[in-house]
Amino acid sequence: LMISCTPSGNLSSEAGLDAELYYVRNDVVNHYALSFNLLIPSETNNLHFSWHAKSKVEYKLGFQVDNPMAMDMPQANISLQGEVPRMLSVFRVELSCAGRLDSEVTILMQLNLTINSSKNITVLNFKRRKMCYKKLEPEVKSPTSDKNSSKAIFDPVNAAPTTSTRVFYISVGVCCAVIFLVAIILAVLHLHSMKRIELDDSISDSSSSQGLSQPSTQTTQYLRADTPNNATPVTSKCYPTLRIEKNDLKSVTLMEAKAKVKDIAISRERITLKDVLQEGTFGRIFHGILIEEKDPSKEKQVFVKTVKDQASEVQVTMMLTESCKLRGLHHRNLLPITHVCIEEGEKPMVLLPYMNWGNLKLFLRQCKLVEANNPQAISQQDLVHMAIQIACGMSYLARREVIHKDLAARNCVIDDALQVKITDNALSRDLFPMDYHCLGDNENRPVRWMALESLVNNEFSSASDVWAFGVTLWELMTLGQTPYVDIDPFEMAAYLKDGYRIAQPINCPDELFAVMACCWALDPEERPKFQQLVQCLTEFHAALGAYV
């Protein structure tokens, strides 16, 4: 008896690189192979198993998925009960995501074997994991990128009732894709002709306009890039178009960004993704589980920052670069990157230690909702305690001469002990688009958190971080409101120059507002240092305790 499968699920003949994984060979069960819980790439929809038996072996086949909402029950193209063929044969198991939610799904295939009609049953459990995503657009990719799986789906002989509806959706998807493709090609041609007239420089022109319409160099992603989701960045003047971010990154390439994090790279096998915590246009934060390298029975909870299919190379580069802002720093109020996963063919992932109440801004907003019914949900003293922790973390950064440049509640996280940690701003532009603006200079910046000298002269220092701390303190006291919400971002500099600042929040004590106002002194020299802020807030915190 022999049963084998390639780890990625592809047929070995087409993959070439994948070694065949033998589960049963010469009647011996390979329990080691069966213990693997292999991850299959999200674009792989079929597993192919090879098998044959020298004598009479009967089998029963069954499937289980742990999340039926995310994945339909797998379908095999052999009957669920029968005899193992005597000739070497291949059977296929179709794993299709339901497209209803984002989740990692564990699939169990159970094969019960009875040799020579004895009473002795051998139970083989094959485990696989696959990441399923909510379907936002018609499935375009699988029929084009994976010819074999599309053949299977379109095969009229094997077509089950459910596959006929899928055929319909896929046809619609293909039609949409073709229409989009034609539209994009026309647009690109139009752009070309316009630019030629303007620049009369066809060589550099063709490369730049190609870059705009096709952020990814891989042809398989091309169709995806044309979907409506991605159309907005192309037309919008602001982030996330290509050129702006290049500026931001000072032209770091993806290769360079990956090389910088090689030493903290880990294998994808060690990461299990659970719920999506936050989601933007191209980025996502998952709650994940990381298996310890030395002791696989030990697990650690992590945040996993990653990108979706439609993210461009520049967006990926930016996520990796920005994630490294606090790398290597150790302080109880800082949350630096711990690992990355940059395996070929997988979306890069950035791992940070988990904090169970998540993003501070979202947490504050949640408190605001709760506060309507329960005014004592979170006390002023708690909020001041959070501010002290942020000031402590920032004081450490200032001593190490690290300038954060984007301190805000959205770039902090919190846990159930009300412990607050400052983290980097990777993906924040995508997850909190309302907090970033570009002022015609193609750079997307947290305008409402920026000191005047940063806005006007692009000057950043610990003193400009102090300004942002003042705004963050205001965010805490207002439970996550947007500062300067009525001011046009273009007017911010003029408004600040004229001496206007955000108003004192209702219920915010004068002493506390005085602390914020000091942080917004026009002259950077006049602003308090973080060490002074820690001291002053600690005294205020103690005084609040005395009143209660």
Q: What amino acid positions are annotated as catalytic residues?
A: 406
Three-state SS annotation for 130-143? EEECCCCCCCCHHH
Rule CB under 6 A: is residue 116 a binding residue for ligand NAG? no
Least distance (Å) from ligand NAG to the CB of residue 177?
A: 20
Q: Of these, 2, 11, 124, 487, which contacts ligand NAG (CB under 6 A)?
A: 11
Nearest residue (CB) to ligand NAG, 6 versus 310: 6
Question: Alpha helices, DSSP H only, in 290-444?
Answer: 313-323, 360-371, 380-399, 428-431
From CA 252, how far away is CA 259, in angstroms rounded?
A: 11
Nearest residue (CB) to ligand NAG, 117 versus 207: 117
Q: Counting Cβ atoms within 10 Å, is residue 97 exposed (0-12), middle (13-18) or buried (19+)?
A: buried
Backbone angles phi, psi at 523, to 5 degrees: -80, 120
Least distance (Å) from ligand NAG to the CB of residue 105?
A: 19
Binding residues for ligand NAG restricted to 84-103, rule: CB under 6 A: 90-92
Q: Which stretch binds ligand NAG (CB under 6 A): 55-63, 435-443, 456-464, 478-486?
A: 55-63
Rule CB under 6 A: is residue 60 a binding residue for ligand NAG? yes
Backbone angles phi, psi at 240, to 5 degrees: -100, 70
Rule CB under 6 A: is residue 120 a binding residue for ligand NAG? yes
Those residues whose C-beta lies under 8 Å from the C-beta of residue 268, and which sit 6 or more positions away, are 39, 341, 343, 346, 349
Rule CB under 6 A: is residue 22 a binding residue for ligand NAG? no
Nearest residue (CB) to ligand NAG, 328 versus 345: 345
From CA 226, how far away is CA 223, in angstroms rounded?
A: 5
Those residues whose C-beta lies under 8 Å from the C-beta of residue 207, and which sit 6 or more positions away, are none
Rule CB under 6 A: is residue 154 a binding residue for ligand NAG? no
Rule CB under 6 A: is residue 160 a binding residue for ligand NAG? no
Rule CB under 6 A: is residue 400 a binding residue for ligand NAG? no
Tokens coding 197: 């007239």
Nearest residue (CB) to ligand NAG, 72 versus 430: 72
Least distance (Å) from ligand NAG to the CB of residue 79?
A: 8
Nearest residue (CB) to ligand NAG, 107 versus 451: 107
Q: Which stretch binds ligand NAG (CB under 6 A): 54-62, 168-176, 330-338, 438-446?
A: 54-62
From CA 131, how far away is CA 271, in angstroms rounded?
A: 12
Contact (CB, 8 A) for 430 and 316: no
From CA 156, how far away is CA 525, in angstroms rounded?
A: 76
Rule CB under 6 A: is residue 194 a binding residue for ligand NAG? no
Rule CB under 6 A: is residue 112 a binding residue for ligand NAG? yes
Q: Which residues bind ligand NAG (CB under 6 A)?
A: 11, 14, 48, 60-62, 77-78, 90-92, 110, 112, 118, 120-121, 123, 147-148, 152
